[in-house]
Structure 1
């Protein structure tokens, strides 16, 4: 996948978000780390239940889903404010599924692609390689 200059890349799992911007010129991929805005962690995600049992998500899973919903909310705000023209989301598969539930239609329209991999603890080189391979 080729990213335009200034495209954003969000790399997330259920606990952590890394945000990058493509600063490469003319089709060159060169990601630069950015300070991610604060993510609201109180959102309980789509589960909405607080009690744990065999049939309900665990508390830690609810926290991860809530974090994913908060990431989507933050990305929606960035897109709606005009800060993000193009976006790639890289997330652990379960987190990516939760993120999708909360995308605003404007974010969906600016989404260049999604990569279902957990790369939050990986190097910038690994992240760039995953984007090029996608």
Structure 2
């Protein structure tokens, strides 16, 4: 990964399937100073086996044996729902104030879900997508990891 140039007032959204950190650069491009603006957490939905306890459905065919219907992946659905919540929050932030640039930092699966959920208003100011999971790091460590080129 190359070194990122985080301009003054750039927004950095660090997220995974359960947590999102909305950070703003209070410093400049040479000396960034990330500040936590907001934190979102997805509700704990429990285990998949607790969410869908019924047996998979069957589809009756006229000339062949019955076919099984694929069971819903509740965790994938929860991840997509949380990505939509993050995208909705970013849309609201962009409507409330001018945001010049947004950097998205997330694991590849969440990054894809987030990309599909972003409005055109938000997509227009996304300048970089970094496929890393940094949500478990403190803010000062996120700052170091993003600007050190690791």
TM value normalised by structure 1: 0.78
Question: Is 1:97 matched with 2:147?
Answer: no
Number of residue pairs the alignment of both structures matches:
125
TM value normalised by structure 2: 0.71
Larger Rg over CA atoms: 2
Cα separation, 1, equivalents of 2:103 and 2:95 = 16
Q: State the shift of 1:104 in Å.
A: 1.4
Counterpart pick for 2:21 among 18, 23, 28? 18
Cα RMSD (Å):
2.7
**Secondary structure in 2 matching 1:17:** strand
After the TM superposition, which of the residue ranges 23-32 and 6-15 deviates more from structure 2? 23-32
8 Å CA contact 2:107–2:132 kept in 1: the answer is yes
Pair 84,52 (structure 1): closer, same or farther in 2 beyond 3 Å: farther
1:110 alignment counterpart: 125
Cα separation, 2, equivalents of 1:97 and 1:88 = 14
Cα separation, 2, equivalents of 1:2 and 1:29 = 9
What residue ranges of structure 2 are gaps of 5+ in the alignment? 44-51, 57-68
1:46 alignment counterpart: none
